[in-house]
A and B are shown apart, each in its own frame.
Chain A
């Protein structure tokens, strides 16, 4: 065999641990217990719970990207989006939920980035589940205090003459960044524009590149 692996195979290799090999944590137990109790009490069924989880899992940044592309192409739509993002998303058939989403627009003068220092508030119904780093203490504590250094680690350099504006959602609003439309995209249609818009562009840790 190659790589010198020609000895009799008797020594153990470490297995990738199964989920049950990790410590079962307090909140995992709590989630299981509360879920089972609510089903036992008839508050909802197991199928309803599964459907609800599937609905959350089915959301993706593609929803937010559609909203962004439409706003780039239609100034009147952009106005409605900035005034009431939930209603503007509904125009495109996207259910953005009941929690108000505030869209913040990047311009020549302002670059926005979003975070939640207290927990992990995130516009899930437009962007899907948040990346792990968004929920990590490192991002939550550093993005408010040294946002330019954090953005540099994402490869995003914001010029000094552009105001960097961080939005910390603490409870009842969610934020989404409306990125700047890159140059050289005049001939692109809505779907092609949407394909340029990544999740991080709508968090504000990246800018859209053509």
Chain B
């Protein structure tokens, strides 16, 4: 798959540290609760797609949103995680759910 090719500008690149927004909007939200407020690393840019959070309500989902595969460390997600320190979890997250990890939002601290 093209890494963000096709004329779509992408805010993040592979290896960037990102923080998932700790927001709780209603609707057909595609960001699982358990990663909200957590930091991860962009594993790859998966391309751009019509926004599924909009498509669910019969809208056109435009402009298209860039989708990232974000990798999290399991022992940072779950207190008392039983497993290897290297164990990880990769979740598909849309760009509008991500902030640069350096710009720490107050909710995410």
Contact = CB atoms under 8 A, between A and B. Distances in A.
A170 B1 contact: no
A83 interface: yes
A166 B90 contact: yes
Interface in A155-207: 160-173
A171 B82 contact: no
A161 B84 contact: yes
B87 interface: yes
Nearest to B94: A171
A34 to B, nearest CB: 14
Interface in A75-126: 83-84, 100, 102, 117-118
Interface stretch (A9-17, A20-28, A46-54, A146-154): A146-154
Given A164-B87, A168-B91, A173-B67, A145 B78 contact: yes
Size category of the A interface is 20 to 34
Interface in B53-79: 67, 69, 71, 74, 78
A146, A148, A162, A168 pick with most chain B CB within 10 angstroms: A168
Interface string B16-57: 000000000000001110100000000000110100100000
Given A144-B34, A171-B49, A173-B67, A84 B1 contact: yes
Contact of B30 (A84, A165, A171): A171
B44 to A, nearest CB: 8
A164 B82 CA distance: 12
B84 A163 contact: yes
Contacts, number: 80
Given A168-B91, A170-B32, A146 B82 contact: yes
A148 B94 CA distance: 28
Contacts of A160: 83-84
A164 B49 contact: no
B97 to A, nearest CB: 10
A113 B51 CA distance: 26
Contacts of B8: none
A169 B84 contact: no
Contact of A168 (B46, B84, B89): B89
Given A102-B46, A144-B34, A170 B82 contact: no
B92 A172 contact: yes
Nearest to A159: B84
Given A160-B84, A161-B84, A171 B92 contact: yes
Contacts of B88: 163-166
A117, A147, A170 pick with most chain B CB within 10 angstroms: A170
Contact of B46 (A100, A145, A164, A166): A100
Interface pairs A-B: 4 shortest CB-CB? A163-B86, A171-B30, A171-B52, A172-B49
Interface of B: 1, 30-32, 34, 46-47, 49, 52, 67, 69, 71, 74, 78, 81-84, 86-94
